[in-house]
A and B are shown apart, each in its own frame.
Chain A
Amino acid sequence: MRSRKRPWKSLLKKEWRELTTSRSWWIMLALIGPLVGVSFINAVHSYAEASGKGGTAAGLADALFPLDGVVAPSFSALEIAASFVLPFVAIRAIAGDRVSGALKLELQQGMTPLTMIGAKALVLTAGWLFTLLPIVLAFILWLSYRGSLYVPEIASLALGHLLNAGIVIALAAAPASLSEHPSTAAILVLAFTVGTWILSFVSTFSGGV
């Protein structure tokens, strides 16, 4: 008989395999590449024009930093993916076991639900880190253009986006656990994320809700 001493290790391995064999994760990775690419190319164009080569107002070139001009716009692709694709990856990971009936088997192991949901959250976060790869490639390109980068700024932005992804995973986990069907959870999460975007838009352009 095999040892039951490290079932959490087996659980993490299972969650990772389930994530990496899911279509939604690969679709997210496939989408994030072009999204980051377009954001980066547009940002570099705008930065080049605004920094003086195209003829800009005096002082604008001095006021521009790579953080505002290139780094933050490149990261903005992650925000779109976190709002519109990550919820589906998270919902599939969390509701999938319940829908397939695997949860009925897993619960008999004796692990607490908190451990099981924690393993899913950990693996989803690790899976999200892969979306940073196109950003890393974009920044390597930026350095090859003789651009400058300040690592603490990038780390701070990356951490912010990671926390944002964590919030999205938590937001997706709640309805995925409670609703009868994953599609209901997807509608709820999308309504919430689109709602927050609209509120943010309104507050930006009208000075408050």
Chain B
Amino acid sequence: MAGLEPADRGNINFNNGEGNGQQRSSKLFYVPDGVAPWPDQPVRWVLEHSLDFFGGREEIFKQVIADLALEPLMRVPIRALSKGQRKRTLLALGLLAPQPILLIDEPFGGLDLRQSREAAATLRRHITPDRTFFLSIHQIADAAKVCDRFVLLSGGRVVAEGTLDVLTAVARQRAGHNLSADFEEVFLALT
């Protein structure tokens, strides 16, 4: 989907038009999980370079730094960051990207409870009418905190799609009306 691997099947439509490679890179930015880009460089350089290289959102630079509490880390090389600090840097990198669609793999991986709540709040704060976030999350409870709509995957296939209310209703139809509205229970009932 991010165009990093050769596509073997399927296609991507942007505003009802099929997107080629060039359109895809101008519409969608993917933040992978578990990467430590430019490990010898400090956080400030990495973020400023990404602004330059991708033509990023300079106008929200300070806001993103403040939201993700990156100010004390600005001079620290990426290789010296903890997992959570690196994740916050990657989230900043994604938020600064110019593309209207942001695809983030495991946005809360490595964050403690407080940090993941703050990161979720930051992501919600940066949602605008022209900006959509796709979050790939294995921790269902985290997904429920931040997402408006859900696509549930099982065995590589889409098994359900919709808002929490819609999914709860579908799950209750399948599993019985006693099912609680807890999203983890809904997920288990549908997958």
Contact = CB atoms under 8 A, between A and B. Distances in A.
Interface string B58-102: 110000000000000000000000000000000001000010000
B35 interface: yes
A2 B55 contact: yes
- The residue in B2, B22, B49, B98 that gathers the most chain A C-beta atoms within 10 A of its C-beta is B49
B120 to A, nearest CB: 23
Given A17-B41, A102-B37, A102-B38, A108 B32 contact: no
Interface stretch (B23-31, B171-179, B181-189): B23-31
Interface in A4-19: 4, 7, 10-11, 13-14, 17-18
Given A1-B56, A4-B54, A108 B36 contact: no
B3 interface: yes
A7 B21 CA distance: 18
Contacts, number: 78
Contact of A100 (B3, B35, B49, B54): B35
Contacts of B56: 1-2
A3 interface: yes
Contacts of A102: 35, 37-38
B52 A100 contact: no
Task: Report whether over half of chain A's contact residues are helix, strand or loop; otherwise say mixed.
Answer: helix
Contacts of A208: none
A100 B32 CA distance: 11
Given A1-B56, A1-B58, A105 B40 contact: no
A17 B93 CA distance: 19
Contacts of B162: none
- The residue in B30, B38, B50, B51 that gathers the most chain A C-beta atoms within 10 A of its C-beta is B38
Contact of B49 (A10, A21, A108, A110): A10
Interface residues of B, number: 33
A47 B30 CA distance: 62
A108 B38 contact: no
Contacts of B149: none
Given A101-B35, A104-B32, A110 B25 contact: yes
- The residue in B4, B21, B55 that gathers the most chain A C-beta atoms within 10 A of its C-beta is B55
A92 B58 CA distance: 31
Contacts of A22: 40
Contacts of A110: 21-22, 25-26
A206 interface: no
Contacts of A107: 3-4
Contacts of B3: 107-108
B102 to A, nearest CB: 11
Contacts of A3: 55
Nearest to B39: A100
A153 B57 CA distance: 53
Contacts of B134: none
A101 B37 contact: yes
Interface in A156-193: none
A18 B58 contact: no
Nearest to B54: A109
Interface of B: 2-4, 21-22, 25-26, 29-32, 34-41, 45, 49-59, 93, 98
12 contacts: A1-B58, A2-B51, A2-B52, A2-B56, A14-B49, A100-B38, A100-B39, A101-B35, A105-B35, A105-B93, A107-B3, A108-B54
Q: Considering the complex of A and B, which 3 residue pairs feature the smallest CB-CB distances, nearest first?
A: A101-B35, A4-B55, A102-B37
